[in-house]
Amino acid sequence: MPQASLKLSPHDQQVLDSIFDPLELGSSQSFDSVPAESDLTDVEPDTEAIRASRELELRAIALSEKGELDEALEVFRQSLNLAQRASVLNNRAQTLRLAKRDEEALDDLNRALELANDQQTRTKCHSHCQRGVLYRKLDNLDAARADFGAAAELGSKFAREQLVEINPFAALCNQMLRQAFDQLK
């Protein structure tokens, strides 16, 4: 069966591009100029307290992955006692989410974003994504959209996908395209 091709006018293509480009129209940055998420890094001072905090953080993550959430939360607490670090708060938020303690997770993510500086782009990106997911779960789509937008500008492909998914115009456009393709069959 021959494949039908759709011919779009330049205006129609521009409309589709604006719908599926989740960055705000007023944004100074396009997705072509954002780094890949894998290129994001966290730069922290190299002190004994931060090294010890990082070791405890990694141990807590491993405990979380094994499902030992209470123990993991205790080790995260110890890590934070050594050094208040944004990545610890972000990772503890994930464990709190697994423990179904969303409000506490939201508090940790807010604090992580307050602490994260311009040299901690990976933690900023992950915290915005996580908080966006929580806001979406709580039906606060405006806040979710803002967080996913911030993470997308930092390079998160997941955040870009979420922005398209929660964009009502994109959903309507997808529905219309499905109907058009169904009619072409």
At 177 the pLDDT is 75
Report residue 36's pLDDT band, with 50, 70 and 90 as the boundaries.
low
Q: Is residue 119 part of a domain?
A: yes
Do residues 126 and 104 touch, judged by C-beta distance below 8 A?
A: no
Do residues 60 and 142 touch, judged by C-beta distance below 8 A?
A: no
Q: What percentage of residues in the chain have a pLDDT greater than 90? A: 60
At 183 the pLDDT is 80
Mean pLDDT of all residues in 90-113: 97
Q: Is residue 40 part of a domain?
A: no
Evaluated on CA atoms 100, 104, 110, 111, the torsion sign reads negative
Tokens 């911030």 belong to 150
Q: Is residue 35 part of a domain?
A: no
At 27 the pLDDT is 41
Q: Is residue 31 part of a domain?
A: no
At 165 the pLDDT is 87
Q: How many domains does the chain have?
A: 1
- Output the pTM of the full model: 0.73
Q: Is residue 7 part of a domain?
A: no
Mean pLDDT of all residues in 133-149: 95
Q: How far apart are CA 44 and CA 57, in angstroms?
A: 14
Q: Is residue 51 part of a domain?
A: yes
Q: Among residues 123, 151, 122, 124, which one has the least CA distance to residue 136?
A: 151
Q: Is residue 133 part of a domain?
A: yes
Q: How far apart are CA 83 and CA 93, in angstroms?
A: 16
At 44 the pLDDT is 81
Report residue 17's pLDDT band, with 50, 70 and 90 as the boundaries.
low
Q: Which domain holds residue 83?
A: 45-166
Q: What is the CATH number of the domain that holds 99?
A: 1.25.40.10
Q: Is residue 183 part of a domain?
A: no
Q: How far apart are CA 157 and CA 55, in angstroms?
A: 29
